[in-house]
Amino acid sequence: MSIRNALRTVTALAAVATSLACIPAGAQDLAKLKPAGFPNQPMEMTVVYPAGGGADLTARLLARTMEKITGDKILVNNRTGGAGMVGHSWLATQAPADGHVMGMLVNLVWGDAMLRAQGRWAYTDLEPIGYLNSDPMIWAVSTDGPFKGATLAQVAQMAKDKPGTFRVATVPGSMWDYLIEQVETNTGAKFLKVPFQSGGAGTTALLGNNVDIAPAFFAELRAHVDAGKVKLVGIASMQRVKHLPDLQTFNEALNGKDYEWTLLRFIAVPKAVPADRKAYLAAAVKAAMRDPDLVGEYTKMGVYFDPALLNAANPTAALNAQAEKEREFYVRTGRMK
């Protein structure tokens, strides 16, 4: 690591530590909050996406830290299918509401609830109890594929010149689709969409030359970038991120102003979980998020920590407010009435 990169890393960790220090110290006093006789069995942290992706890694790091802090056994279980819909539906309608099941979710659950659940369940059937981190979407290309050496603007122009020729991985009905649609609408490009269950699967397809572009997240791409197999061409955040200072945003590359597609990761439980158990689990999540080792591991993944969500007195209200903003997008784009 160069001195410059090392200084950037130290600065980023210091900023995170300052933000995390704002979390109420009372959240660490788990012994007083722990309900009698709870838990009486290993707990499950459900991940609705396949093993190996950013959501899975986030959950496993969190579970390990929570086990260290609480002494409770937490098993990570990947309940996959339907690009997250199977796991989301199970958590909202079938998971035991006794506090022994948590979901490590991302904001894609809101789209499932609003667009695909068909009234069988709502996002408010799940109660967010703790925010973890935010992760902007990145477009990656192969270093030996058709976009070798291309900038994001050149990728869009090539897809405009040869419409329907270049393959892009997508997770249907999600921000993967929405970002592709936005690029096509604004630039005149036309891509051939190839559906996958997760960003990690799309990255695997990119490595096998089965797609030409893989929208994914830095944790899913980092090892392949380091190995020289993948090149990052654009990040869908409003500003450049500290850990990738040379990577253009979509807004910069494509002369836009509203290319912003970021995963929000959080912990949620079924709404009917008893209040005392919710309070204990919420405090355990907050305590874990104060752990410097966990913060360091998350920082290495290339995420950032939104202070407004991290320090929210009421995580449920703060995250549900974000869900309502997403609803507005669906209405504005004609996906919902």
Q: In this structure, are 8 and 120 located in the same domain?
A: yes
* 130 belongs to a structural domain: yes
Answer whether residue 337 is part of any domain. Answer: no
Q: What is the pLDDT of residue 208?
A: 96
Whether residue 247 is contained in a domain is answered as yes
Same-domain pairing of 130 and 268: yes
Indicate whether 128 and 145 sit together in one domain: no
Kindly tell me the burial class for residue 82, based on how many C-beta atoms sit within 10 Å of its own C-beta (0-12, 13-18, 19 or more). Answer: middle
pLDDT reported for residue 28: 53
Q: pTM value?
A: 0.77
- In this structure, are 210 and 188 located in the same domain? yes
Residues 222 and 307 in one domain: no
The pLDDT averaged over each successive group of 10 residues in the chain (337 residues) is 46 45 50 94 96 89 96 96 93 97 95 93 96 95 96 98 97 90 96 90 94 92 94 94 93 94 95 96 95 93 88 91 90 88
pLDDT at 164: 97
**Distance of CA 252 to CAs 66, 94, 114, 257, 302, Å?**
39, 44, 31, 8, 20
Residues 25 and 119 in one domain: yes
Query: What whole-number distance in Å separates Cα of residue 327 and Cα of residue 334?
Result: 11
Q: Which of 206, 224, 254 is the last residue of a domain?
A: 254
Same domain, 246 and 168: yes
* Domain final residue pick, 210, 236, 254: 254
Quick one: pLDDT at residue 112? 92
The domain spanning residue 166 has which CATH number?
3.40.190.10
The parent domain of residue 16 ranges over 3-134+263-332
Residue 176 and residue 250 in one domain: yes
Alpha-carbon span 96 to 117, nearest angstrom: 20
Res 78: pLDDT: 97
Which of 254, 279, 313 is the last residue in one of the domains?
A: 254
Structure tokens at 199: 């960003």
Q: How many independent structural domains does the chain possess?
A: 2
**Distance from chain centroid for Cα 190:** 26
155 with 239, same domain? yes
Residue 269: CATH number of its domain = 3.40.190.150
Judge whether 152 lies within some domain.
Answer: yes
- 13 found inside a domain: yes
**Same domain? 129 vs 114:** yes
Same domain as 143, residue 128: no
User: Does one domain contain both 173 and 234?
Assistant: yes
